[in-house]
Chain A
C-alpha cells in the first residue's frame, strides 16, 4: 500500500514540480529547457498512470489512499485521499497521455513566444489540478481540482493578455464556470448535510441505504451537480464561454477545451452515477439538455468561418451527445465517446494549430484553401480525425457515436432524431472545414503562399500519434464484444445488463447513421468542391445563416437578460446607495472633525483655565469616590 501511496504522490506532484521549476527558474533556464522539463514531468505522470492502469486492469480492485484527515467537525469528516479505480485511471491515462503529446507539440508551437516558460508552467499546473480532480476520493478534493482547472483555463485563455478581447474571453469563461461551480458547491453542501460525508464510497452506500427517502433533496442535489457539470462541460445554458475560449493558444484549446477539462462534467456525473440513477427526472433533464445542446451547437457550427470556432462548436455538440448518453444512464457509452472524442478532437485542434502556425496566425477559413500539397501530414491526420468524428465506419468515432445513438433510440425516439441530425450536421461542417482549408486554390496573400510549409516534426509527431489513436480507438469497445464495458463493469452495475444484442434494428440504425454521415459529407463536397463556393463576407450573410452565424444572438440575449440589468442595478447602487452610505460615513467624519475643532478651542493655552478644569475634575472624582455609594 505504501508503494501505491508513493506512486500516487509521484503521479500528482511531478507536474506540480514542473510548474514550480518553470515558474521560478523558467526564464533563466531558457525556452527549450523549460519546454523539456514541462513535457518530461507530464510523461512521468503518464508512465505512473500506465502502471496503475495495468495493476487495476489485472486486480479489478480500486486503490483507496488516505493521506490525512482534512476536516473533522463532530460527525462530519473529510479526509484528503485518492481513489484510483477503473474510472479515474482511465481518465488519468488520456489526461496525461494526450497531455504529454500536447506538451511536446507546444515546445515547437510556442517557441516564438517570449513567455514560453509561463505557458508551460500553466500547462503543468493544469495537469496537476486535472489529476487532483480525477483522483480525489471525495467531492471536496475533486472540487479543489475543479476550481484549479478553471483557474488554469482562465490563465491560458487570457495568455496573450495584451489583447483586450482575449481578456474578455478569459473573464467570460471564468464567470460562466463560476456560475456552474456555485451549483456544484450547493450540490456538495446538500449531500454533505444529508449524509455527513463527501467520500464517494461512503456516499454510495449511504445513498443506497437511503433509498426512497429524501428523494426531493436528492433530486435538488443531482440538479445542482448537473449545473456544475453544465458550466464545466459547456452545456446549454452555460455553453457560450467555450467558443470564446478559443482565444487561447491552440494547444490550450486542444488540451483543455477539447480533450480534458471540458470532460470533467461527464467525469463527475459518472462518478456520482449512484445519485443520478436514483433521480430519473434529473436524468431526463440531462438527456434533453444534452440533445438540444448538440443540435444547437451543430447548427451554429455549420456557418462559422473561423477554423477554431468550428471546432469549438463541434466540441460543444459532441459534449452534448455525451450528456445525451449520460441522461440514459449509459455511462460507459458516454465514457467511450469521451475517449474517442479526446483523440480525434485533440488531433483536429492540433492540426488546425499546425495550419494556423503555417499561415502565421490566420484563422479565417475563407483565406485558406489548397493546403493539401503544402502540408500533407497535417492534411492526412486531420482527414482521419474528420472521418472519425463524422462517424465513418472503422474509425473510432463511428463506434462511440453509434452506441450513443443506439442508446437514444432504445430510450427516446425524438432525442435519437435530434442526435442523428446533429451527427449529419457534424459530418457536413467538418468536411466543409476540410474542403475549405485543404482543397481548391490558396486564397491568402502571395507572401503567405510563399511561406507555406509543413510544420516541424515536433508538431507532426503528436498529430500522427493522435490520428492513429483516432483511427483505431474504436477497438476498445466493439459492439457485442466490448472490452471497455467489461473493464468498467465493476463500477456501473447496469453496464452488463444494458448491452444491446446486435439485431436487425441495430444494423438498421448503424446504416442510417453511416448514410447520414455520407450525406453530410456529400453535401459539403457538392457545395465546396463541385461548386467551389467560398463563404460570403460577414456583411453579406443574410437570412437563417445570419442568425446562425451570430450564434442565435445568444450572447446578445444574455447581455440584455443578465448583464444589462446587473449593470444598471450596480449603476443604481453606485449612484444612490453608495452616495447615501458615503455621505453617512463622510458626515460622521465631518461631525467628528467639527466637534474636535470646537473642542480645540477649549485648549486655549490659559493655565488658569486648566487649573479650573483640574479642580472641577478633582471635585468630580472625590464626589464619585465618597458620595456615589
Chain B
C-alpha cells in the first residue's frame, strides 16, 4: 500500500434523478459497502430503507431533554417558593403541582427542543467546517438538482476498478475521484 501524495477520499458518482439514485443505493448496499453515502438536494422519501439506515436516535436526546426540563421546572419552583424563601400568597399552598405545571411544561418543551436540535447535530457530527466533498467542484450541485453516491476509499470493500465499474453499471455517467 504505497501511497502517493494525494490519497483519494472516495469515488463520487453523479445521478440525474431520484429513482436512479435510489436504485443505485440499493445495489451499493447489497454489494456490502459500509462507508458510503448518498447526497441529495432534499430528503428523498424511501432512501433510508434503500440504504438500510435504521431509525434515527434523535428521539432519545429530545426525551432526555424533556425529562430534564420538567424535573428542573418542578424542583426549581419547589425550591424557590416552598423551601428557600416561603411567601404566603392568598392562602395558597407554598408548592402545588398544578400552579407549578405551566412553567415546567414550557421547560419540558424548551429542553426537549434543544435536545432534538443538538442531538441531530451531534449524531451528524456537525458543525463541521471542512469536508473533502465540499472542495469538489461538481459536488456543489448536491444542494441544487443533482444526486451523488459516494463510496469512501476507506471502505474494506473498495477496489479502485471494480467499484467504479459497479457505479457505471448503475447508470452514472459521471464518476470521479475526490481528493482528501
Q: Do A and B bind each other?
A: no
